[in-house]
Amino acid sequence: MKQLKYVVLARRASQIKEELRQGVRKPYNDVIDVIWGDSHRAGVKPLSFVRQVLAACIYPQLMNGDRLPVDVRERAQRLLGECAGGSVGSYTATAGTPQIVQRISEFITRRDSGAPSHPENIYISPGSQWSLMNILEVLVNNEASTKTGILTPVPCYWATNVSIMELGAVIVPYYLSEEQGWELQVEELHRALESAKGVCNPVALYVINPGNPSGHIQTRKSMQEVIRFVSEKRLFLLADEVYQGCVYRDKSEFVSYKRVLAEMGPPLSDTVELASFHSASKGFMGECGLRGGYVELVNLDPDVMKHINNLFSKDSCAPMLGQMALDLMMNPPQPGDPSYHLYNIETQHIRTTLVHNVQRALAVVNSLQGFSCQPVQGGAFLFPRLHLPPKAIQKAKELGMQPDTFYCLRLLEEAGVLASPGSEYGQKNGTHHIRFCIMTPGDIMEELLNRLTSFHTQFMKDFS
């Protein structure tokens, strides 16, 4: 497999950081790293309540005395009481600590306005991507004469495509409509399915909502069309919903595929097979390093569920701290709790900053000649389109690079901004994009936009 461009860019960024440490003079003093969807890496501070509870669980002596708020101590005691031996260092059941799995089920039921969720259909994992890999492993048949196909969006988070190819399956691309704000159009799903004839046997449709990197949020109508499509074509539905907590735009609302399916009623609600993924890494919590995610499975055959249980068993269990982080995400402090006031201030600050970052980034990017960006409704990224001069495209070709990779490398070298090229995620032929994380403190976003403006203006001048 060819080397991922982000790996090359990240390696060069590390070299530049080392050069700066050694006193090498550059037009900037540091590298702004916005290549990952990792808000803590980008400078967003962890939530106090989360870290206090986790600290008390790791070192229970912290609960002696009154240094920590009473609700923090109570939560830590409850979580430790659910651990074997009262320690975060112990194994749990394959699917996760039963009490935490139960509370995830209750969270899903609340989120979906009462649509029932069953704990036995939920598996906690070391991150949503890990869960997805396991479900894909069940779907991909390497013994069949025809390869298995998975319909995936373009653009799409690169790690999913890598996982699909590693399992020996074929990616069947369907293109989101950039002109319509990266909308998923069911006519395009039909076209993609038709294109797979004679190439592979498509068994599943993968959707990302809110979109990564597109930032689009699907409407109920769009989701209903998708559900009817997978039912008609007998496809398994994989719903990546990890950015469900990140919705910025007025009148935009996240609704889960599980809820829409339940509301459509029988026979669809009883027959469409669905896997829905969520994570503690994304959203305002941003705990990427703790590795906690879950998958909820709907309408799967009992024999398939047994096989999935065996797959999840091979790695014993998800990290205990990741499981606890999920629990804290599902059940944050409530009004009246001692920790609520600070928790509310911190989460509102993150939300306000993100809304401001989105508005500022869109305004700046769309003001630059050679850039255009669709409105961002949710998620963690901006994915603007680059309209590059022919000379820049020719120069990239001479260097054996994709044009947007060439642009990102120059942006890193000359402005100290680490962003990723759109070619990493897939894009229509002849189009170029870059992706950068908007989950950063406001001052870092301003500095990023200043550097991007100066660099881009000079770049367009150099290659005009």
In a domain, 326, yes or no: yes
In this structure, the answer to whether residues 325 and 354 fall within a common structural domain is no
What is the predicted pLDDT for the residue at 311?
A: 85
| Domain stops at, among 300, 330, 360 | 330
* Residue 199 within a domain: yes
Domain boundary among 267, 301, 330: 330
* Highest-scoring range by mean pLDDT, 130-134, 142-146, 207-211: 207-211
Mark which of 272, 304, 330 sits at the end of a domain: 330
User: CATH number, domain at 351?
Assistant: 3.90.1150.10
Residue 250 has pLDDT above 80, yes or no: no
Query: Picking from 147-151, 188-192, 282-286, 299-303, which range would have the lowest pLDDT averaged per residue?
Result: 282-286
In a domain, 70, yes or no: no
Is residue 73 one of the residues assigned to a domain?
no
Task: Express each pLDDT in 303-356 by its tens digit.
Answer: 999 999 888 888 778 899 999 999 999 999 999 999 999 999 999 999 999 999
Q: Say yes or no: 150 and 250 in one domain.
A: yes
Number of domains, the chain:
2
Tell me which residue range forms the domain holding 201: 91-330
Question: What confidence tens digit (pLDDT) does each residue in 116-125 have?
Answer: 999 999 999 9
DSSP 157-221: -HHHHHHHHHTT-EEEEEE-BGGGTSB--HHHHHHHHHHTTTT-EEEEEEEESS-TTT-----HH
- The pLDDT tens digits for 364-401 are 999 999 999 999 999 999 999 999 999 999 999 999 99
Q: What percent of the chain has pLDDT over 90?
A: 88
Identify any residues that bridge with 437 across adjacent strands, giving them in sequence order.
381
Same domain, 9 and 149: no
CA dist 65 and 57 (Å) reads 15
CATH number at residue 213: 3.40.640.10
DSSP 8-state secondary structure symbol assigned to residue 47? P
* Whole-prediction pTM: 0.95
Q: Do 389 and 424 lie in a common domain?
A: yes
Distance CA 182, CA 185 (A): 9
pLDDT in tens, 356-373: 999 999 999 999 999 999
Q: Is residue 276 part of a domain?
A: yes
